[in-house]
Amino acid sequence: MKDNPEYGIHIPKNRIPKEYIKNYDVNNLWKVNLSGAWRMIYTIRGSKIEIISLILDIINHRDYENKFKYKKS
């Protein structure tokens, strides 16, 4: 993430949970699939001079599906 802040998978704006918008004033969200079906959720903030990747959550797959309201098949 240090070399490439957009390393993860971009989450569309309409999928951003309201709690992230309310608690962290998020307007972009990214996820990285970790081993063992865990997910790291982060946002990118900054300016032309400095870019900051802020990790918001590390959650398991089930909690990720619930938080982002993905339907189980």
Q: Is 4 exposed, middle or buried (0-12, 13-18, 19+ CB in 10 A)?
A: exposed
What's the alpha-carbon Rg for the chain, to the nearest Å?
12
- At 38 the three-state DSSP class reads strand
Confidence category of residue 70, pLDDT binned at 50, 70, 90: confident
Say how many C-beta atoms besides its own lie within 10 A of residue 22's C-beta: 9
pLDDT at 73 over 80: no
d(CA 50, CA 63): 32
Which residue, 43, 58, 51, is CA-closest to 13?
A: 43
pLDDT digits (tens, 9 = 90+) for 6-62: 899 999 999 999 999 999 999 999 999 999 999 999 999 988 788 899 999 999 999
